[in-house]
């Protein structure tokens, strides 16, 4: 299903929840090149302002900012309504924030595990559900959510983070099903390891590591067309297919 395009003569209006993330910034640059109107939401006021200035240079018709703690939404529906008022409406919503957390700490400290789940699932779910209601009420638009290949199968290295992303995947797929034949679309984009501040300190080598720009291109396409689940880059669909179907005796011998 393809999203209904903005009316002739009207620019695309994008809200980015998590506007300072590496993938979000790269995606916003693609929208800016199209002359879109963009609202960036996040906690880092100075960083948001710097990105907004850059987006205007790159062609954005407007680039606004809003400071909010996305991980602790008090009323996501009211907040989205405010964002819509700022732009005069919303066409695309990108949910792009999250934390990786420390798996070793999360297995020992319930508070650390709760933080990973709260940020990556609980709060994201609140924003997604509010976005779904807004888009369904207006009868058009796209909700694109950044998930992770980590949600495809629990692995010892990151199963708390993976569990949160798995829950988010089920939610977004359910929203996509809810939207069937109604006009709006919902898409979960599952990146593999990506070179962003979130993965700073890891050994980031090899063909499986993507640049933010590579993932951004997938995100931008997903807002307009394609299925409800998209992998970024594409080959992760097949890597994770193999991992999901490995028999437990073999899987348990792998240090992944």
For position 224, what pLDDT does the model report? 97
pLDDT at 256: 83
Distance, C-alpha 228 to centroid of its chain: 13
Taking 3-state DSSP, the helix, strand and coil percentages for the chain, each rounded to the nearest 5, stand at 50, 15, 35
pLDDT digits (tens, 9 = 90+) for 35-53: 999 999 999 999 999 999 9
DSSP state at residue 210: B
Is residue 100's pLDDT more than 70? yes
Mean pLDDT score, 233-244:
95
- Model pTM score: 0.92
Where do the structural domains in the chain lie, given as residue ranges?
Answer: 13-251
% of the chain residues with pLDDT over 70: 95
In the numeric block, the tokens 């002739």 are attached to: 8
Whole-number average pLDDT of the chain: 93
Q: Are strands 37-42 and 62-67 parallel, antiparallel or unpaired?
A: parallel
Q: Is 161 a catalytic residue?
A: yes
5-33 tens-digit pLDDT: 555 557 999 999 999 999 999 999 999 99
Q: What's the pLDDT at 57? A: 98
| Those residues with Cβ within 8 angstroms of residue 105's Cβ, 6 or more apart along the chain or in another chain | 112
Q: Where are the beta strands (DSSP E) in 36-192?
A: 37-42, 62-67, 92-95, 142-146, 185-191
Q: Under 8 Å CB-to-CB from 238, ≥6 apart: which residues? A: none
Q: How many Cβ atoms from other residues are within 10 Å of residue 140's Cβ?
A: 16
Least-confidence region, from 78-92, 95-109, 143-157, 205-219: 205-219
Mean pLDDT within 2-6: 48
User: From the candidates 97, 161, 231, 238, which is the catalytic residue?
Assistant: 161
Handedness of CA 111, 114, 120, 125 (dihedral sign): negative
CATH number for the domain whose boundaries are 13-251: 3.40.50.720
């Amino acid at each position: 299903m393809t999203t209904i395009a903005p009316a002739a003569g009207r620019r695309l209006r994008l809200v980015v929840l998590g506007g300072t993330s590496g993938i979000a910034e790269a995606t916003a640059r693609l929208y800016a090149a199209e002359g879109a109107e963009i609202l960036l939401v996040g906690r880092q006021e100075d960083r948001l302002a710097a990105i907004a200035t850059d987006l205007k240079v790159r062609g954005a018709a407007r680039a606004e900012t809003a400071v909010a703690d996305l991980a602790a939404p008090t009323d996501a529906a009211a907040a989205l309504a405010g964002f819509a008022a700022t732009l005069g409406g919303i066409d695309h919503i990108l949910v792009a924030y999250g934390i990786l957390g420390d798996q070793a700490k999360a297995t020992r400290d319930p508070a650390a595990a709760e933080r990973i789940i709260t940020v990556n699932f609980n709060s994201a779910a609140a924003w997604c559900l509010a976005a779904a209601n807004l888009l369904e009420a207006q009868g058009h638009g796209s909700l694109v959510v950044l998930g992770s290949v980590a949600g495809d199968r629990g692995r010892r290295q990151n199963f708390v983070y993976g569990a949160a992303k798995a829950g988010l995947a089920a939610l977004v797929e359910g929203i996509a099903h809810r939207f069937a034949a109604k006009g709006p679309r919902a898409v979960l984009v599952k990146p593999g390891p990506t070179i962003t501040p979130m993965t700073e300190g890891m050994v980031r080598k090899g063909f499986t590591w993507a640049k933010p720009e590579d993932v951004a291109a997938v995100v931008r396409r997903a807002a307009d067309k394609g299925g409800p689940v998209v992998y970024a880059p594409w080959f992760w669909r097949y890597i994770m297919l193999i991992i999901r179907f490995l028999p437990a005796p073999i899987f348990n011998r792998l240090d992944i």
